[in-house]
Amino acid sequence: MLTDEFRSLLIQKAQDAWQRAYAPYSTYAVGAALLTDTGKIYDGVNIENAVYPLTVCAERVAVFKAVSEGERSFRAIAVVTRNGGTPCGACRQVLAEFGLDTVVLIADLQGNLLHELTVADLLPHAFGEADLDAARD
Ligand code: THU
């Protein structure tokens, strides 16, 4: 269960990160903050590129930072945008890899919590490791 304290802290960290987004092409800044089971928080921002498809979303930056530091279990991720946009399909799949129960907090720039969901809510019938095992039979 996510406490109110962590809820506010994650949204605050995602708001702070939002300021550092590198989004000169879309001008759609995104900030994310990911809480691990060990109590650490990794933030992320979207990082765009003049070669547009090379852009990486804020959520994936946060997950990849955490995983590269040895963290693989996540309690929650907060995502802040100007209008409360939800994670894209690719980010849903990357989050699903590390747990369908991770809580996803969607907030706006003012820090208003607009949606509180799980990865399973966002990606029903997710493809995962178990599907690969089934394919081997
Ligand atoms: N973006 C994210 O960072 N996360 C999402 O889940 C949705 C999209 C970024 C990618 C791009 O830099 C900008 O938002 C517009 O698509």
- Pull the structure tokens for residue 100: 């369908």
pLDDT in tens, 37-64: 999 999 999 999 999 999 999 999 999 9
Q: Quote the Cα angle for 65-130-85, to 5°.
A: 45
Mean pLDDT, the chain, whole residue set: 97
C-alpha of residue 91 to centroid of ligand 1, in Å:
9
Q: Whose CA is nearest to atom 1 of ligand 1?
A: 57
Calculate mean pLDDT across residues 114-128.
98
Selection from 72, 100, 81, 69 nearest residue 28 by Cα = 81
Pocket test for ligand 1, best of 26, 43, 46, 91 (most atoms within 8 A of CB): 46
Residues 6+ apart with CB under 8 A from 93: 123, 126, 127
Q: Which residues are annotated as a binding site for substrate?
A: 46-52
- State the pLDDT at residue 101: 98
- As its CATH architecture, domain 4-136 has 3-Layer(aba) Sandwich (3.40)
For 11-112, where are the E strands, in sequence order? 31-36, 41-45, 74-81, 103-108
Encode pLDDT of 62-89 as tens digits: 999 999 999 999 999 999 999 999 999 9
Amino acid 84: pLDDT: 97
DSSP 101: T
- Global pTM value: 0.96
Domain boundaries in the chain?
4-136
pLDDT score of 9 more than 80: yes
Closest-CA residue, ligand 1 atom 10, reads 57
